[in-house]
Structure 1
Amino acid sequence: MPSNATGLKRIAIVGAGPAGLMAAERLSQFDYEIHVFEQKPSAARKFLMAGKTGLNISHAEPLPQFIQRYDAAEWLAPWIEACDAVWIQAWMKNLGVASYVGSSGRVFPIEMKAAPLLRAWLKRLLAQQVQFHYRHQVVGLKGKTLRLKSLKTDALEQAYNLDFDAIVLATGGVSWPQLGSDGAWQQWLSSDEISPFQASNAGVCRSWSSFMQPIFGQPLKRVTAWVAGHEKSIGDIVISHYGLESGLIYKQGRALRQQRQAIVQSQGSTEQRMPNMTLYLDLLPELTESQLLKKIQPQAKQSTANLWRKAGLDPTKSALLRELIDKSKWSDSAYMAKQMKQLKIELTDFRPIEEAISCAGGVQQQALDANLQLKSNPRVFCCGEMLDWDAPTGGYLLTACFATGRAAGEAVHQYLETA
């Protein structure tokens, strides 16, 4: 149980993910007693998981374009401008971790993994007297008081209360709860301060016939995807046993949610079953419809399958057409050319939020002041994925966590300076 032996103002940070660690780093520049509480046995487990296949930590695209990737762009802009890809690369370099910008514009540490960066970061925070309390769960928050419980198997102590001069909540959303972000913190706030969480950067569901089973796990290479009335994106999509999966699908997630919400609102609140969502695909974006039509016009001794293949459709794309288009239409060249350029796919849902890379929803902007301070409890500041913002993968998620964590740390310092 940490005691206030220093006589310094005492700060609690709940959650040892990227946002919480960045808040701790900013506050460690000043003379405070800083305690980080993490219910897992170690820090930043989701961060480490994200870095297993290559830690995409930010993106080097022009800042105005970068900021527009967020649904809450205007809200986040000041913090991201102060903590952009250039700042993050310099911060990594200061930790002894070199980085590079890939051909896609994504920023990676040269070693690609998250573990070396995290080790260097934690080492520096410990040297700056930040105190970490692992396997300590916050089970309540009231005013300036945290109710804490040790999760150590040999611990005999019961839940206990500790008071702090300021509290930073960096508790994450609700995706990948097994890594620590279980959303239990929502009970500490009122329901009107939180937007319901929804899966983001998640696969989408559609029931396939048995015909598609041999195609599961195969990619639709270089296709254009869009939702009516929204921006188009190009990339690959993997056909899964449950539907569709890939970064290209993630990019369309926000538009799909908006489409569904618009349908629900137009049909009224009596909707018993969530309506389907509609995604469109251009299977051959390098060809115009007229060019395609010429290529698939019936020819002597040429089968439909062979014509499609010569037009550029690989077996996966051909299988998808056969799954979605009635067989009686396959020989109608004009109709099929249109379908290849604008194939309509009805989707029933997103994958469960527990499987999502991130989530939309969280603490609403209106519940916080301009410094991420909770209006209902000025001792408390919020940051990271628990805030109500959304972004695609590609370095945007981590950047916003870093940026809001740093902003919350600065805001706490300003608050304590004037308190």
Structure 2
Amino acid sequence: MSEAVDALVIGAGPAGLMAAEVMAASGRRVVVAEAMPTPARKFLMAGKSGLNLTRDEPADLFATRFGGSTGGLLPPDPRGYLGTEDAAFGPAEVMAWARGLGISLFTGSTGRVFPVGMKASPLLRAWLGRLREAGVELRTGWRWAAIGGGFGFATAEGPRVLRPAVAVLALGGASWPRLGSDARWVEMLRAAGVGIAPFRPANMGLRVGWSVQMRRHLGAAVKGVAIHAGGQVSRGEWVIARQGIEGGGVYAVAAALRDGAAGHVDLAPDLDLAALTARFQRPQGRLSLGNRLRRVLGDPVKVALLLEWGAPLPDTPAAWAERAKSLPLRHDGPMGLDRAISSAGGIVADAVTADLELRALPGVFAAGEMLDWEAPTGGYLLTGCLATGRLAGLAAARHRSVA
């Protein structure tokens, strides 16, 4: 069966829903096709521990956290996702948009912005309600399967073909595939002439082969340290996991570590080297090595890391202080895409116009994690998805030729 539609969005995550919202607001009749039984599954999963919408900081500073070939389209390039005159959608705009859905927000001490209720589900319910009122039709269980002569879908009722005047693709990247972002679209677009960079894990943990002595610390949080890598510094917390190290403090510098930058951990970032050396020089009596180190560092988890990664062990107070201030972060590479929060890679900058239209497929636009960009967690990822969805949707709304 074949059906003509005015505007099509494939993918009902944040980027796709934002594209649908702005197209509907412009008067287009929008159909959203989603492969999963319900929309925005990754969005809901990400919000389980608290939905970090954005980061309350100036847009020019915010934009420096985006990498990848299409991440370079962000400001200071004035034609970028957050910087075009009609598509500006940085932190301030995200906060105003959420409040417009009736969601009260608060800003934490690090600038992260959350709903007062912390959860993603109230925001999603309000958003879907607004889209229904705007006439957006959501079709779940529709998996995109073919392109050419329209967009072919596999559905519970059998094959269907939609022939849109304009389309926005927002199918996600390749992380958390069980939630829908399985990158099955890559071969279809590549065959159509769209340039695509291979996917790699982003915002992921790092594999570490722990010693037997570290097993008692599995699950422990690492607090009050700083990770240095690739010119970046992260003061966030992280966790000693069975497979390695995970958590926000690691994710903030994960891209640099993944790409080969050496990393080190400062176990006492609030003390300078001289002050820490003085602590190591204090008389310790007959205390064991572990107890001496615990007295200096005040945390058994820090001591365990120092003994795990500090070999060969120093033999003077000054050397111990230097090692604690610059402890090599020893790892065996990134964890895989199935455990990554997001992915790097995707549709490259040369394959899209400044409005995110695919050069090989006129009238077809792309948004969200399909594009080759990456950013750390902490509000950057979600804002980037919303911003690219908005930019693609605005451009698609203006497009009048048949794809």
TM-score by length of 2: 0.92
Distance 1:241 1:417, change over 3 A: same
The one-letter code matched in structure 1 to 2:81 is W
Report how far residue 298 of structure 1 moved: 6.5
CA separation in 2, counterparts of 1:386 and 1:212? 39
Give distance in 2, aligned partners of 1:361 and 1:38.
Answer: 22
CA distance in structure 2 between the partners assigned to 1:281 and 1:103 by the alignment: 23
2:240 matched to which residue of 1? 239
1:271 maps to which residue? Answer: none
Letter in 1 for 2:231: H
Corresponding position of 2:211: 209
Q: Structure 2 matches for 1:16-415, cutoff 5 A?
A: 16-72=12-68, 73-77=71-75, 78-81=80-83, 82-142=88-148, 145-150=150-155, 152=156, 155=157, 157=158, 159-190=159-190, 193-227=195-229, 229-259=230-260, 278-297=262-281, 299=283, 301-303=285-287, 304-326=289-311, 329-415=313-399
Q: 1:236-281 CA deviation, whole Å, 9 max, x = no partner?
A: 221111111111111111211332xxxxxxxxxxxxxxxxx63201
* 1:292–1:194 Cα change, 3 Å: same
Give the RMSD, CA atoms, in angstroms.
2.0
Deviates more, 1:235-244 or 1:55-64: 235-244
Q: Deviations over 1:269-321 (max 9, x none)?
A: xxxxxxxx632011011222222222212636242334322322411111112
DSSP-derived class of the 1:80 partner: coil
Determine if contact 2:3/2:161 at 8 Å carries over to the other structure.
no
Indicate the SS of the match to 2:235. strand
After superposition, what is the alpha-carbon deviation per residue over 1:191-243, rounded to whole angstroms, capped at 9, x for unaligned?
7611111101111011011110001111221111112x512222322111111
The code of the aligned residue for 2:245 comes to L
C-alpha distance in 1 between matches for 2:95 and 2:132: 22
Q: Secondary structure at the match of 1:353?
A: coil
Q: Which amino acid aligns with 2:117?
A: E
Taking only the aligned residue pairs, the percentage that are identical comes to 39
The amino acid that maps onto 1:127 is E
* Structure 1 unaligned regions, length at least 5: 260-276
1:295–1:307 contact (8 Å) kept in structure 2? no
Q: Which residue of 2 aligns with 1:270?
A: none
Judging changes above 3 Å, is the alpha-carbon distance between structure 1 residues 103 and 216 closer, same or farther for their aligned structure 2 residues? Answer: same
- The answer to whether the 8 A contact 1:203-1:356 is kept is yes
Shift of 1:89: 1.7
Alpha-carbon distance in structure 2 between the residues aligned to 1:21 and 1:161: 21
In structure 2, distance between residues paired with 1:367 and 1:404: 15
Distance 2:72 2:374 in 1: 13
Could you tell me which runs of 5 or more consecutive residues in structure 2 were left unpaired when the two chains were aligned: none
Shift in CA distance, 182/418, structure 1 to aligned 2, threshold 3 Å? closer
Deviation string 1:303-342 (CA, Å, 9 cap, x unpaired) is: 2334322322411111112222347x35432321111010
Deviation at 1:175, TM superposition (A): 0.6
Q: Conserved in 1, the CA contact under 8 Å of 2:3 and 2:163?
A: no
Q: How far apart are 1:347 and its partner, in Å?
A: 1.3
Deviation at 1:118, TM superposition (A): 0.6
Against the structure 1 CA distance between its residues 42 and 297, is the aligned structure 2 distance closer, same or farther, given a 3 Å change threshold? same
Distance 1:308 1:252 in 2: 27
Give the count of matched residue pairs.
Answer: 390
Contact 2:199-2:345 within 8 A present in 1 as well: yes
